[in-house]
Amino acid sequence: MARILVVGIAVVDAIAHPVDAFPAPGGLRFFDELTFTTGGCAINCGIALAKLGIPSDIVARVGQDPLGDFVISELARAGASTSGIVRDPQRPTSFSFVAVPRGGERSFLHTTGANAALRASEISPQQLASKQLVFVTGTMLMDALDGEPAAGLLKAARSAGALTVMDTVYVESAPIELWRRAVLPALAHLDYFVPSAPEARAISGIDDASESARSFQRQGARNVVIKLGDRGVLCLDEHGRETIVPAFQIPRVVDATGAGDCWAAGFLAGLHEGRSFVESARLGNAVAAISVQAAGATTGVPTMDQVQNMLDGQAGREDR
Ligand SMILES: Nc1ncnc2c1ncn2[C@@H]1O[C@H](COP(=O)(O)OP(=O)(O)OP(=O)(O)O)[C@@H](O)[C@H]1O
Ligand SMILES: [Mg+2]
């Protein structure tokens, strides 16, 4: 039985390339290429863990629709578990239309769909039992789970003996009150809170990553990671020790979609193997660095042997 439980959002992404401008109302524009793929933090993380050779149980909600079938078949194709995927009879599978311009930042059009109805009651005591790690991911896009219900779930997970981890999604338009309502109740029940730098800033209202990590710790999180993109991660441990774990140098970023989810998979894999906090974060950096060198959120995820080679290579360079 899997020792890791991943609870969170499932999305299908249709990625159009290139889209340099949107059509005027009533108009039509062409693009060359459509990539149709699974996305969403929980699905990305579950697939990445499966590719690393680590089983997990995944609880997420999709519609009773062809996109829901697609999520389930893609999980199965990657060797990930599908038994925790709940079909919503009313709401559609969450969907993102991603417009990728020739240069610059991609734009997302997103509908939350079934993710908004994922509830803590969907996770049975049996699913929580004998878990080493429980990861809630996609906070801000789960209307029925974010805030107090997620806090209750994490509390129950801890009582059942698991270490708890939580990650958020960057919702640019959300006011600080919404961030706080979604995140703060969970902090006291978290062993590791792992937001990205923009998310940390949005929740705490503090620009400095170190200061905002400390504010999350004051509000109850035992350890905090702030993901800093191509700079790596900041780890703040329970004794107040701070470590910057630098990102791996890579020749070229092909697609940074899902970098944070692949980082989380590597981090969970490290904790699963009994590595230290900082060593697990380094493993997260390695998985994420390899993944951003291929198109698609999880296409480039390596095997654990490849990750270990990368870590050994870095240790070798540091020794010289
Ligand atoms: N250009 C890069 N080179 C090397 N590693 C990278 C690069 N970009 C991201 N990473 C790795 O991926 C990790 C996560 O990326 P990021 O900080 O962007 O997370 P995120 O914002 O949660 O991502 P996402 O948008 O997928 O949710 C970083 O901490 C780093 O280890
Ligand atoms: Mg993220």
pLDDT tens, position by position, for the chain (320 residues)?
799 999 999 999 999 999 999 999 999 999 999 999 999 999 999 999 999 999 999 999 999 999 999 999 999 999 999 999 999 999 999 999 999 899 877 888 999 999 999 999 999 999 999 999 999 999 999 999 999 999 999 999 999 999 999 999 999 999 999 999 999 999 999 999 999 999 999 999 999 999 999 999 999 999 999 999 999 999 999 999 999 999 999 999 888 889 999 999 999 999 999 999 999 999 999 999 999 998 888 989 999 999 999 999 887 776 55
Atom of ligand 1 nearest to the CA of 195: 22
Distance 293 CA to ligand 2 centre (A): 17
Tokens representing 262 are 């692949």
pLDDT of residue 279: 98
* pLDDT attached to residue 318: 65
- The residue whose CA has the least distance to atom 2 of ligand 1 is 230
Q: Is residue 311 part of a domain?
A: no
Indicate whether 309 belongs to any domain: no
Distance of alpha carbon 223 from alpha carbon 221, whole angstroms: 6
Range of the domain at 199: 4-11+41-94+115-300
In a domain, 36, yes or no: no
* Number of CB atoms found within 10 A of residue 211's CB: 11
d(CA 34, CA 36): 6
Under DSSP, is residue 101 helix (H, G, I), strand (E, B) or coil? coil
Q: Is residue 249 part of a domain?
A: yes
C-alpha–C-alpha distance, residues 16 and 31, integer Å: 7
Residues 6 or more apart whose Cβ sits within 8 Å of residue 317: none
Q: In angstroms, rounded to a whole number, what is the distance separating the alpha carbons of residues 281 and 225?
A: 8
| Exposure string over 139-174, b if 16+ CB within 10 A, otherwise e | bbbbebbbbebbbbbbebbbeeebbbbbbbbebeeb
- What gap in Å lies between CA 244 and CA 183, rounded to an integer? 24
H or E stretch covering 66: helix 66-77
> What pLDDT is recorded for position 314?
83
Hey, whose CA ends up nearest to atom 19 of ligand 1? 260
Q: Where are the beta strands (DSSP E) in the chain?
A: 4-8, 11-17, 33-39, 57-63, 85-88, 95-99, 107-111, 133-139, 163-168, 192-193, 223-227, 233-236, 242-245
CATH number at residue 167: 3.40.1190.20
What is the domain count for the chain?
Answer: 1
Q: Select from 15, 196, 203 the residue to mutate for testing ligand 1; criterion: most ligand atoms less than 8 Å from CB.
A: 196
Does residue 189 belong to any structural domain of this protein?
Answer: yes
Q: Give domain status of residue 316, yes or no.
A: no
